[in-house]
Amino acid sequence: MKSMRLIGSLSCIMLVMAISAVAQPSSSPAPVLDSAGRPLQRGVEYYINPAITDSGGRFTLINRNGSCPFYVGQENVSGLEGLPVIFTPFVEGETVIRENRDFRVAFSAATICVQSTAWKLGEKDPETNRRLIVTGEDEGSRKARNYFRIGKASVGGDIYQISWCPTEVCPICKFDCGTVGNLVENGKRLLALDGNVIPVTFERKA
Ligand SMILES: *[C@@H]1O[C@H](CO)[C@@H](O)[C@H](O)[C@H]1NC(C)=O
Ligand SMILES: *[C@@H]1O[C@H](CO)[C@@H](O)[C@H](O)[C@H]1NC(C)=O
């Protein structure tokens, strides 16, 4: 009887310990998970896939109009190769990509353009009034245009959306934040803020 009670209170203590181990301190938000449920890591190659069929293929570099720099866009259809990206958290020493934390993201690829393959928020496109994602280095002192973040999409599961809102890079700045969607220009799919949103998944390159 006595030992039963002891086991009962022990398991109660263990339950409390398990709950507090699961609860994340607010200073380290949940890691972003890849399509196999593993946390995204700094310096590892991932393909970015649209979570919904019908919204184009994997993310890749797009030669928008025959000149440099290349733009960030998508394969026209799913099933094509695309290009992997590498994430680098803004916080030095952080090895995991966490929800709503700033990172640089660059295609792991070489192009004929001399520019880097890092994603950069571009100027507003006059035709569509949307801001495209281009490649290159932000020449500003904070390089804020080179920092993006990932948040959970409302659909649930390990499905995410990518946005530009670099408040870790500059906490006092007022950004016109936006979430990544796409637009089609001359048959080419370009990523753009200020419109639709593409939910995505991250597939670790084998
Ligand atoms: C490409 O776009 C740039 C910027 O809009 C423009 O100045 C240039 O003339 C275009 N080049 C071609 C080949 O269409
Ligand atoms: C998608 O199709 C357009 C039009 O045929 C083509 O110009 C473009 O290069 C294609 N995109 C990719 C990523 O191959």
- Write the CATH number for 146: 2.80.10.50
DSSP state of 53: T
pLDDT score, position 115: 82
pLDDT at 17 over 60: no
96 C-alpha to ligand 2 centroid (Å): 34
CA dist., res. 206 & res. 194, Å (int): 33
Domain membership flag for residue 9: no
16 in a domain, yes or no?
Answer: no
- Angular region, 136: left φ>0, alpha ψ -120 to 50, beta rest: left
State the ligand closest to the CA atom of 63. 2
Residue 133 CA to ligand 1 centre (angstroms): 16
Domain of 114 in residue numbering reads as: 29-204
The pTM is what?
0.84
Domain assignment present for residue 48? The answer is: yes
- The continuous run of DSSP H or E covering 3 comes out as helix 2-22
Q: Pseudo-torsion of CA 147, 153, 154, 155, nearest 10°?
A: 170
Whether residue 136 contacts residue 69, with contact meaning beta carbons closer than 8 Å, is answered with: yes
- Our count of domains for the chain comes to 1
In-domain check, residue 78 = yes
Q: Tens digit of pLDDT for each residue in 90-102?
A: 999 999 999 999 9
pLDDT tens per residue, range 34-66:
999 999 999 999 999 999 878 899 999 999 989
Q: Which residues line ligand 1 (CB under 6 A)?
A: 65-67
Residue having the nearest C-alpha atom to atom 4 of ligand 1: 65
